[in-house]
Copies of this chain bind each other. A is one copy, B any other.
Amino acid sequence: MSAGSAADDTTARASLSRATVLNQALRMVEQEGPASLTMRRLGAALGVEAMSLYYHVHNKDDLLDGLAEVMVKRLPHAALDRPWEDGVRAFATGIRRIALRHPAAFQLVGMRPLDTDTVVRPVATLLIRLQHAGLSPQAAVAAYRLLASFARGFALAEIAGFTLAAPAADHPGVAEHLAPFAPALYAGHDRAFRAALDIIVDGIATQTTSAPRARGGRRS
C-alpha cells in the first residue's frame, strides 16, 4: 500500500525472508522429492545464489528444523469440550494428515525433535483432556507418547512404502499360516490406521473413570 520506496524499478522480486525461504523449500521438496532440497538448488529457485540463504538460515540443519516447524503449525487446535476419544483420534489423525499432505517433506523431518512452543499447545490440550477423563498424569503422558510415536511411525512407514513380503517358496509352512491374514495386510492404510487407533482408544478407556465404553460399534 505504501508508495514504492527508492530504487525498485527493474526487479519486482521481494526481498528474501526466512518465511520465503522455508515456503519455497517446502514447495520444492514436494514437487521434486526429498533429495532435491539442496542449498544450491533452493537458492536458484529463489533467483539468488546459494550463499545468500545463509543470511536467513544458519545452515541446512536449521533449514530442516524450520521446515518441521512450518509443518507442525498445521496441527489442528482441538476444542476441549468434546469427549476425550475425539481428542485422542484427532491428535493422531492430525499428525498423519500433515504427513500425507507433505509426504516428501515429512520423510525429511518427520522424526525431528520439536523443541518449539508451537507443539506445546496441542500436547497440553490432549494431556489436560485425558486428565479430565480420569487418567493420572503418568497415564496421560504415556498415552500422549504412544499416540505421537504411533502416528509418526505409521505415517513414515506408509510414505516409505509399507509392505510385508510374500513369504518365499522355501518357507512353505509360513506361507500357509499367513494366508488368512493376507486380505487384512493389504486392506489399505486408512483402514489399518483406524483399526490400530481403536486399539489405543480401548486401551486408554481402561484407565478412565467413567463407565466402560460400549464396544462393537466400529467395524475395523
| A interface residues (Cβ-Cβ under 8 A, vs B) | 111-117, 119-121, 123-124, 127-128, 131, 137-143, 145-146, 148-154, 156-157, 160-165, 167-168, 170-171, 174, 177-178, 180-181, 183-185, 187, 192, 195-196, 198-204, 206-207, 215, 220
Contacts and interface: CB of A to CB of B under 8 A. Distances in A.
B157 A149 contact: yes
Contacts of A171: 117, 120-121
Q: Is the interface of A mostly helix, strand, loop or mixed?
A: helix
Given A181-B141, A220-B138, A115 B163 contact: yes
A216 to B, nearest CB: 10
16 contacts: A116-B165, A117-B171, A120-B174, A120-B178, A123-B164, A127-B181, A137-B184, A141-B185, A143-B196, A148-B157, A151-B153, A198-B203, A199-B203, A199-B207, A203-B204, A206-B206
Nearest to A200: B203
B112 A160 contact: yes
Nearest to A121: B174
Given A143-B196, A145-B196, 11 more contacts: A111-B153, A113-B160, A116-B165, A120-B164, A120-B171, A124-B174, A127-B177, A138-B187, A142-B196, A148-B157, A202-B206
